[in-house]
Amino acid sequence: MNKLTLLALFIGLIFTSCTSDDPPIDEIKGEYDNGIIILNEGNFYQGNASVSFVSNDYATVENSVFYNVNSRLLGDTAQSIAFTDELAYIVVNVSQKIEVVDRYSFTSTATIDTGLTNPRYMAFANGKGYVTDWGDGGSATDDVVAVINLSTNTVESSISVGVGPEQIVAKDGKLYVSHKGGWSTNNIVSVIDTATNAVQTITVNDVPDEMLFNQAGELVVLCEGATQYDANWNATGHTDGSIVRINVANNSIVSTLVFNNGIYPSLMGYSDGKLYYQAGGKIYSMTDSATSIPTESIISDSFYGLAVNDNMLYGTKTDFTAGTGDLLIYDLSSKSLTTTKSLKVGAAKIYFN
- What pLDDT does 8 receive? 47
Longest dimension (CA), the chain: 100
- What pLDDT does 26 receive? 59
User: Are residues 320 and 327 in contact, defined by beta-carbon separation less than 8 angstroms?
Assistant: no
Q: What residues does each domain of the chain span?
A: 114-264
Number of residues in the chain = 353
Average pLDDT over residues 301-314: 98
Going by pLDDT thresholds of 50, 70 and 90, the confidence category of residue 20 is very low
Going by pLDDT thresholds of 50, 70 and 90, the confidence category of residue 22 is very low
* pLDDT digit string, tens, across residues 312-343: 999 999 999 999 999 999 999 999 999 999 99
User: Are residues 82 and 123 in contact, defined by beta-carbon separation less than 8 angstroms?
Assistant: yes
User: Are residues 164 and 143 in contact, defined by beta-carbon separation less than 8 angstroms?
Assistant: yes
Render the burial of 253-281: b for 16+ CB within 10 Å, e for the rest.
eeeeebbeeeebbbbbbbbeebbbbbbee
> How many C-beta neighbours within 10 Å does residue 11 have?
10
DSSP codes of every residue in 260-283: PTT---EEEEEETTEEEEEETTEE
For 114-264, CATH number?
A: 2.130.10.10
- What pLDDT does 4 receive? 43
User: Are residues 122 and 50 in contact, defined by beta-carbon separation less than 8 angstroms?
Assistant: no
* pLDDT digit string, tens, across residues 179-211: 999 988 999 999 999 999 999 999 999 999 999
Has residue 17 got a pLDDT over 80? no
Q: Which one-letter DSSP state was computed for residue 22?
A: P
Average pLDDT over residues 40-55: 97
pTM for the structure as a whole = 0.91
Nearest to 182 by CA among 242, 241, 139, 240: 139
* pLDDT digit string, tens, across residues 233-289: 888 888 999 999 999 999 999 999 999 988 999 999 999 999 999 999 999 999 999
Quote the CA–CA distance of 313 and 315 in Å, as a whole number: 7
Q: Return the amino acid letter for 323.
A: G
- What pLDDT does 227 receive? 86
